[in-house]
Amino acid sequence: MSALLSKRTLKQYYSALLILMLSALMLPLNTCISYSGYQGAINDVNSAAEPQQISNAHNIASPSTVPLYVVGTLNNLNELQGTINLGGGRVIHIGISMLKTLHTLPSRLGVIVIARLLSPLEEKVLERCFLRGFVVVSLGRAVHNQVNNVLSRIATVVTNVNGTELYIYKLVGKHAINGHYPVLVAGYAGKDLTGELLKDAIIALSMNTNDWRIVAFVNWSSEALWKPYGKLNVMHVIYRYPQDPWRNMDLYAVKCVTQIVSGNKLGWEDNGYTWFNDFIKSKYMLRYYTSIYGLVDYDPSSSSGGGSIEVSLSFPPALALTWSYSGNYILSIDDDSDLDTSVAGWVHDIGTWYSLGVSNTIKIAPGFEYTVSPVKPGTQRWVISGGWVGAGLNPGAPLGHFTGTVVIIVKFT
């Protein structure tokens, strides 16, 4: 079906808007991220590689069993019992314990699900759980706000996504930056802790880094928000170079990981339409609000895609930060960056020589490096879009195009 797709013959345009507002604390970088407001418009309207320092995600500390501690009530508890296959021949047994209170630290490292509001004493114990290395899952808006209050005292990142009620958290570093630790924060558009999401929580148990240059992970998944078109997963990694020689200038880098999954790959149906991945567009406007940021390096530049796409950020005197990602099914990379105006941007056009969209899942990971001078509060604007193209199964059905956009406002105070 994908061979029928052509950009010139697109007739229907569907779009959606997702706005993420991120607020970050830096100096030297205590990051507070908040996402605010998303909305979807389905009919006839327009819308707005893994970091090298991370350990293998399947290297779980527990040999066969992971404790799952539940504070509150889970309606689908029976679905979480049994075993979970992590892949690579690794099967984990889930040992469920229902906790009436969280007044003491659980005896074994594992996953804690918070499904009700905590008392002040329980909040203090939760903070100790974070520092001990537990993974925490929050269910519901009120619980998430309470967990944020705890994290704000010890972590580099706290998040808030309007309409998102399920989060997974894990401190991932042993070295604090001004008393705040690097942290993994993952938000999901669904409301229930499914087996797949529990698998994510178990994998997070192994995440750790001793390299304090990594200051934050920010994850978000659209889940089924844009069903039947596809799904967009965003994971950005923020680095800080600690050994720069300047008195009033800091050096940072961002690894911009974005994954796009087609509705066809997910098996989602749309009244006779099938949807394929079309493009990923990302733009990082560092001086949209202020002039203190300066883009000093980025990668890749324009290319025809294919093979392995190498990324190297090497602004002196920093050590080079390098990684690569697959160029399979990427027809071209259009470099939209501008060093003069401090804009880093790329359009990854997805397809094959004989078709437009593809069913295959695509992950990109471009990156950029920038300075902050003078070191003071400021704000950046990041915009990430995923596009899907749809073909009708009935003869003569018009083609369609759906775009989901994430607008990220990053405020450093």
pLDDT digits (tens, 9 = 90+) for 159-215: 777 778 899 999 977 677 778 888 888 888 878 888 888 988 888 887 765 444 787
Angle between helices 141-151 and 120-132 (to 10 degrees): 60
User: Percent of the chain, pLDDT > 90?
Assistant: 44
pLDDT at position 268 over 80: yes
Nearby residues of 204 by Cβ (< 8 Å), 6 or more positions away: 135, 168, 170, 184, 186
Cα angle for residues 249, 153, 128 (degrees, 5° grid): 130
Cα angle for residues 391, 396, 399 (degrees, 5° grid): 30
Residue 313's nearest CA partner among 365, 385, 349 is 365
pLDDT at position 413 over 80: no
What local confidence, expressed as pLDDT, does residue 208 receive? Answer: 65
What local confidence, expressed as pLDDT, does residue 379 receive? Answer: 79
What local confidence, expressed as pLDDT, does residue 49 receive? Answer: 27
State CA 31 to chain mean position distance. Answer: 15
Nearby residues of 247 by Cβ (< 8 Å), 6 or more positions away: none
Mean per-residue pLDDT for 208-231? 78
Asked if CATH classification 1.10.150 holds for the domain at 1-48+225-413, the reply, yes or no, is no
SS3 labels along 95-150: EEEEECCCCCCCCCCCEEEECCCCCHHHHHHHHHHHHHCCEEEEECHHHHHHHHHH
What local confidence, expressed as pLDDT, does residue 190 receive? Answer: 79
> How high does pLDDT run on average in the chain?
79
User: What is the residue extent of each domain of the chain?
Assistant: 1-48+225-413, 54-212
Count other Cβ atoms within 10 Å, centred on residue 11: 9
What local confidence, expressed as pLDDT, does residue 27 receive? Answer: 31
What local confidence, expressed as pLDDT, does residue 341 receive? Answer: 97
What local confidence, expressed as pLDDT, does residue 72 receive? Answer: 95
Task: For 248-308, give the DSSP string.
Answer: S-EEEEEEEEEEEEEHHHHT--BTTEEEEEEEEEEEEETTSS-SSEEEEEEE--SB---SE
Task: Give the highest mean pLDDT range of 7-16, 22-31, 291-300.
Answer: 291-300
pLDDT digits (tens, 9 = 90+) for 64-101: 889 999 999 988 888 888 888 877 667 889 999 999 99
The one-character DSSP state at 247 is: S
pLDDT at position 45 over 60: no
Cα angle for residues 122, 126, 132 (degrees, 5° grid): 145
pTM above 0.85, yes or no: no
pLDDT digits (tens, 9 = 90+) for 111-143: 999 999 999 999 999 999 999 999 999 999 999
pLDDT digits (tens, 9 = 90+) for 337-353: 999 999 999 999 999 87
pLDDT at position 4 over 60: no
Q: Which has the higher per-residue pLDDT, 16 or 377?
A: 377
What local confidence, expressed as pLDDT, does residue 411 receive? Answer: 65
Query: From CA 404, how far away is CA 401, in angstroms rounded?
Result: 10
What local confidence, expressed as pLDDT, does residue 266 receive? Answer: 96
